Amino acid sequence: MKFTAQQIAVKIHGEIEGNPKAEIFELAKIENAKKGSLTFLSNPKYTPYIYKTKASAIIVDKNLVLEDNLESTLIRVNDPYESFSTLLDYYKKVTVERTGVSSSAEIHESVKIYSNSYIGSMTLIEKDSKISKNVKIFPHVYIGPNVNIGEGAIIFAGAKIMEDTVIGKNCVIHSGAVIGSDGFGFAPQENGAYKKIPHTGRVILGENVDVGANSTIDKATLGDTLIGDGVKLDNQIQIAHNVEIGSNTVIAGQTGIAGSAKIGKNCVIGGQVGIVGHITIGDNVKVQGQSGIISDVENNSIIQGTPAFSYNSYNKSYVHFKNLPEIIKKIDSIEKKNKK
């Protein structure tokens, strides 16, 4: 794909400074950009690169004051990072834009496929599933019976959407994700064995949800596992049965959430966090990476540690944690003197 700097400026409502006909073939980081690249500058620490980069065009803040002449064309905007993100989103949509049904796809006769949708090779769609308009389903995807996929959703190669799952509008399911698998539920028996508890519920994803590669969302034992609008899940996340996650919460990779936990709206949860089951985490909570949460958390809390507690208290406590060996030596020395 090829664009001019002027075409890009129109897309992001920017002002051109330099050659409006500069041709753009790719997007790149400012330190690696070359002729034909479009890059951006938003972090001040990268400012020296603006005088070294070979990029054909650079998105910059409208108030940036230059200290030297540049060969690159500038596109001045209110927020360079947001503008570049807009272009990345547009580029991503263009790269996945395709229509048609592969001859090797197997689709049950009860399933209607709209003309502007795409079904990739070796994909299997079971009976009574509903595929809305403008859905993109890439190769080797499995769609179980009675699944409902909303308009504009994208499901990348190798994802598995199990029976009765509901996927909202404009959701993105990345490769290897499994949505609607059985939860981890077993009843102990008198002889020491475990009997599997059937899971008959569903998973419901709201609109504009992103599910990262190789993440798993288990269906409910009874009722629904609920993922709210705008939730963003990183790769390799485990969400157990009957979990509820409020809208616009973001969760980083390798986090595990046990059954029936409830997480509020607009939370930010770091990587490798463990959350036990049957607790409630309030709205606007921030959890630092590798924390373990074992009890309810109030709205607007910032927590860290295992068991997790106040972030500020954790930082103060850490000063003492790292000094414990020296503190113990001093205590031992005092005890020895007292014994004399």
Strand 309-310 with 256-257, pairing = unpaired
Residue 302 CB partners (closer than 8 Å, separation 6+) = 285, 286, 288, 310, 311, 312
Instruction: Verify whether residue 13 is a known catalytic residue.
Output: no
CA 13 vs CA 7, 59, 84, 150, 186: distances in Å: 10, 11, 12, 31, 57
Classify 39 as helix, strand or coil: strand
Angle (CA) 117-119-122 rounded to 5° is 175
CA 291, CA 274: separation in Å to the nearest integer?
6
Q: Specify whether the CB–CB gap between 141 and 117 falls below 8 A.
A: no
Q: Specify whether the CB–CB gap between 227 and 217 falls below 8 A.
A: yes
Smallest CA-to-CA distance from 153 within 197, 118, 126 is with 118
Tell me how far the alpha carbon of residue 188 is from its chain's centroid: 36
Angle (CA) 71-74-75 rounded to 5° is 160
Q: Tokens 């799952």 label which residue?
A: 165
For residue 41, the number of C-alpha atoms closer than 13 Å in the C-beta half-sphere is 28
Q: Which residue of the set 13, 140, 174, 241 is catalytic?
A: 241
Active site residues: 241
